[in-house]
Amino acid sequence: MGDAASTGRPPTSLRVVSAGPQTTVQDCGRPGYAHLGVPRSGALDEPALRLANRLVGNPEDAAGLECLLGGVVLEAEASTGVAVTGAFAPVRVEGRLLPWGVAVGVPRGGRVEIGAPTQGLRVYVAVDGGIDVPPVLGSRSTDVLSGTGPAPLADGDRLPVGAGRGAPSDAEAAPVPVRRELRLRLGPRDDWFTSASLAGLEQATYTVSGDSNRVGLRLDGAGLERARDGELPSEGLVLGSVQVPPSGQLVVFLADHPTTGGYPVVGVVEPEDLAACAQLRPGDAVRLRLLR
């Protein structure tokens, strides 16, 4: 993981005035430990976090904040710079509405307020110097499934911030429209389902369930019909695996997914489409496109 320290402004901290529904510290995760039962974790919309870090002059993999549905208020204990990306949400500094997707200066004692997104679900906040909580297995990410890493933010928390570079980018970003189509590569257990069920995957429209979270995106719709009885022994799962429990409904496993599972995996979502999964809201309609 990149080191946020530099010869710029000294380390400082942010005070969490309001933590919102669920705000976690995330970087690019801790891959390479699945054989030990440790999920990858990390930002669900990794391109959004990388962009926010570039805007404030951090290494792309520095730790920032992932904010579910906004509602976050942060107070800077020293002057710093921040950038907000991901879901399109109103951002205010000291009450002044600011453009989305730019690096902005925040004075000492200044408050950053992130409202509810009007498009997308998760907002990403990068601060000059990066969030400098202690790393666990090489990552500062919060894993909500195992409890690895820092706890989700609570009102009144103070977040350490690394020494800043003080060199924000003057670039501007544009909100990325939320994709409603996920590309799916069948296997390894597609032979557990009937040909008719598999043929219907591309014709069906699925709805994002309110039970979705950082572990998995749950899709309600036409269930897949099994072609065989019995259950599999537990086997390894990769990021983007689409597991099918006995209900026949689809679950797309995201960054905090378990490392093994016993239900058949009908396919795997293309890695480039996983960021879209992070921004789909409950009730959104989703289509699948099979890759052949």
Q: What is the pLDDT of residue 173?
A: 79
Identify whether 259 is part of a domain. Answer: yes
Strand segments (E) across 27-138: 64-68, 72-76, 80-88, 91-93, 96-98, 103-106, 111-114, 119-127
Identify whether 144 is part of a domain. Answer: yes
Q: Taking residues 19-34, what's their average pLDDT? A: 97
Identify whether 176 is part of a domain. Answer: no
The count of domains in the chain is 2
What percentage of the chain exceeds 90 in pLDDT?
A: 88
Identify whether 168 is part of a domain. Answer: no
- Is the domain of 138 the same as that of 258? no
Identify whether 3 is part of a domain. Answer: no
Side by side, the strands of the sheet bearing 22-26 are 22-26, 64-68, 119-127, 80-88, 103-106
Q: 161-181, pLDDT tens digit by residue?
A: 999 877 777 777 777 788 899
Residue 106 in this model has a pLDDT that exceeds 60: yes
Residue 189 in this model has a pLDDT that exceeds 80: yes
Integer Cα distance of 60 and 66 in angstroms: 15
Residue 89: C-alpha distances to residues 84, 130, 142, 172 (Å) = 9, 21, 23, 15
pLDDT band for 2, please (50, 70, 90 cuts).
Answer: very low
Q: What is the pLDDT of residue 169?
A: 79
Give the predicted TM-score (pTM) of the model.
0.94
- Asked whether the beta carbons of 258 and 237 are under 8 A apart, the reply is yes
Phi and psi angles of residue 155, each rounded to the nearest 5 degrees, phi first? -55, 135
Q: 89-102, pLDDT tens digit by residue?
A: 999 999 999 888 99
- Considering the chain, what is the average pLDDT of its residues? 93
- Given the DSSP bridges, would you call strands 158-161 and 216-220 parallel, antiparallel or unpaired? unpaired
Q: What is the pLDDT of residue 8?
A: 63
Integer Cα distance of 144 and 152 in angstroms: 8
Identify whether 169 is part of a domain. Answer: no
- Is the domain of 258 the same as that of 152? no
- Is the domain of 151 the same as that of 190? no
- Is the domain of 73 the same as that of 157? yes
- Is the domain of 73 the same as that of 210? no
- Is the domain of 109 the same as that of 243? no
Q: Taking residues 31-53, what's their average pLDDT? A: 95
Q: What is the pLDDT of residue 4?
A: 39
What percentage of the chain exceeds 70 in pLDDT?
A: 97
- Is the domain of 94 the same as that of 227? no
- Is the domain of 41 the same as that of 157? yes
Side by side, the strands of the sheet bearing 111-114 are 96-98, 91-93, 111-114, 72-76, 12-18, 158-161
**Domain extent for 227:** 181-291
Q: Taking residues 191-213, what's their average pLDDT? A: 96
Q: What is the pLDDT of residue 1?
A: 38
Identify whether 27 is part of a domain. Answer: yes
- Asked whether the beta carbons of 171 and 52 are under 8 A apart, the reply is no
Q: 45-83, pLDDT tens digit by residue?
A: 999 999 999 999 999 999 999 999 999 999 999 999 999
